[in-house]
Structures are given as structure tokens and as C-alpha cells.
């Protein structure tokens, strides 16, 4: 996927929450070539939080046994895990994560994402480590042209009324296209639809439009 240039270079400090010494050392070594712009510090829950721009956490550890909303942290929280399934990503974004980045990411791409998030953007990069070319090529695009257009506008953060005005459709027609799209891509909320749009190339991760992911909506259109 083509990437836009990273934000103006500045040094960011990234804390990694409740990880083993091996993981912290490995991440530091991985990012060492980029030490001029990013550094990693360990952070244990219950201990004073280090001064940093972002905090990476493993989704399974943050959510284990937690039924209520997670406690607040002094920095922007970024989910960082191996499991990048839509369900896991959607759950963490709905809980207020500032972004989701895969542990499969190479160093340069991870740094680019972290800089974007530190710059105030919401980024989802759930790359699974599989090259695009290895994905089955027989899968057909499930949406009609109009459904694709409406879903793209949802992903960019537009409300139903704005979509109706820009497409010259009635509000009921817009809702009908949204319901049809949701059914075909098997999602039930706007946040899940945005994630699907990102994963299928309708929106480039890191653009300000992905702020639409910050809030989880009930199952509605």
C-alpha cells in the first residue's frame, strides 16, 4: 500500500505496558535504527507512568477479566498485538484506543504509524504479515457502486444527512444502502464499517477521517 510522507520528524517516547524484558528489549532493538525519532520505555501497571507520548499495550492483557470500561491512562493508548481480527480491532477501538498496530509490522511501517498517532491521528494497521499477492484473487467485490460510495463516505466521517445531500438521495435511500452494505460485509455498527473500509482500501489509515473510529455506536444505520 502506498504511504504518504511521515509527519515532520520529532522525537516521541513510547511506553510498552506490562511486557516481559525480552519483548521490551526486542522492540528496542527493532527500533534502534530509528532512535533519533522514537524511543521505548517499559511501564508496569500500578507504577508511576513514565513521561511519554504513547503507551503500547497487548489487547488480551488489558481486557482479561475486565467487564467495565478500562481505566484511564495519562497518554494515548495504542493496541499492539498479534491477533488483528476485525473483532479484536473493533473492540479495542470502541474502548477508546488511539490506534491499533500489528506486531507483524516491519520497523519502518511501525514507526510511521506511531508518528501519525502521536501527531493526533487515529490509525489502524492490522497487517497480518501476508503479502497482498498471496491473498485469493477470486473473491468478488460484494458491494454495488452506490453502496461502495456510501460506505466510503461513512468511513470519511460523514453523517447520513450529509451523504444524502452530496449524493442527491433521500435520507431513507441512504439508510437503505447502508443496511444493504452492512449486511453484505457482515457488520452491525458504523465503527465496524469504518474498519472494513480501511482493510479493503476505501480509506488510507492515518488520515484524519479515521477519527470516526473513536466512538463505538450501537447497531444502527
Transcribe 4-53 into DSSP letters. PPPPSP--EEEEEET--HHHHHHHHHHHGGGTTTEEEEEE-TTSPPPS-S
Say if residue 195 is in the same domain as residue 115. Answer: no
Return phi, psi of residue 176, to 5°: -65, -45
State the DSSP code for 57: E
| CATH code for the domain in which residue 21 is found | 3.40.50.2300
60 & 97 share domain: yes
Report yes or no on 219 lying in a domain: no
Q: Which of 64, 98, 129 is the last residue of a domain?
A: 129
Q: Is pLDDT of 139 > 80?
A: no
pLDDT tens track for 18-40: 777 888 888 889 999 998 999 99
The count of structural domains within the chain is 2
Specify the pTM: 0.57
Distances in Å between the Cα of 119 and the Cα atoms of 22, 46, 62, 99 are 28, 27, 24, 12
Query: pLDDT tens digits for 1-10?
Result: 444 444 455 7
Determine how β-strand 76-81 pairs with β-strand 99-102. Answer: parallel
* Within a domain: 3: no
Mean predicted confidence (pLDDT) in 199-209: 53
Average pLDDT, the chain: 76
Based on the number of CB atoms within 10 Å of its own CB, is 68 exposed (0-12), middle (13-18) or buried (19 or more)? exposed
Cα-based distances in Å from 203 to 16, 37, 149, 158, 182: 28, 27, 12, 13, 17
The pLDDT score that the predictor gives to residue 195 is 81
Predicted local distance difference test score (pLDDT) of residue 201? 62
The verdict on 203 and 96 lying in the same domain is: no
Amino acid at each position: 500500500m502506498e504511504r504518504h510522507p511521515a509527519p515532520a520528524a520529532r522525537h516521541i517516547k513510547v511506553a510498552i505496558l506490562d511486557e516481559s524484558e525480552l519483548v521490551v528489549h526486542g522492540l528496542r532493538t527493532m527500533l534502534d535504527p530509528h532512535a533519533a525519532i522514537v524511543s521505548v520505555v517499559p511501564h508496569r501497571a500500578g507504577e508511576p507512568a513514565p513521561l511519554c507520548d504513547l503507551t503500547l499495550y497487548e489487547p488480551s492483557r488489558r481486557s482479561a477479566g475486565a467487564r467495565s470500561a478500562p481505566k484511564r491512562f495519562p497518554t494515548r493508548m495504542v493496541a499492539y498485538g498479534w491477533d488483528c481480527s476485525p473483532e479484536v480491532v473493533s473492540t479495542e477501538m470502541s474502548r477508546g484506543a488511539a490506534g491499533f498496530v500489528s506486531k507483524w509490522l516491519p520497523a519502518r511501517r511501525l514507526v510511521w504509524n506511531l508518528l501519525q498517532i502521536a501527531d493526533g491521528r487515529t490509525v489502524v494497521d492490522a497487517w497480518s504479515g501476508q503479502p497482498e499477492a498471496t491473498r485469493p484473487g477470486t473473491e468478488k467485490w460484494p458491494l454495488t457502486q452506490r453502496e461502495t460510495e456510501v460506505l466510503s463516505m461513512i468511513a470519511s466521517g460523514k453523517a447520513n444527512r450529509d451523504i444524502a445531500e452530496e449524493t442527491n438521495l433521500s435520507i431513507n435511500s441512504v439508510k437503505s444502502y447502508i443496511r444493504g452494505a452492512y449486511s453484505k460485509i457482515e457488520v452491525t455498527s458504523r465503527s465496524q464499517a469504518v474498519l472494513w473500509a480501511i482493510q479493503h482500501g476505501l480509506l488510507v489509515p492515518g488520515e484524519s477521517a479515521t477519527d470516526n473510529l473513536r466512538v463505538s455506536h450501537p447497531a444502527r444505520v
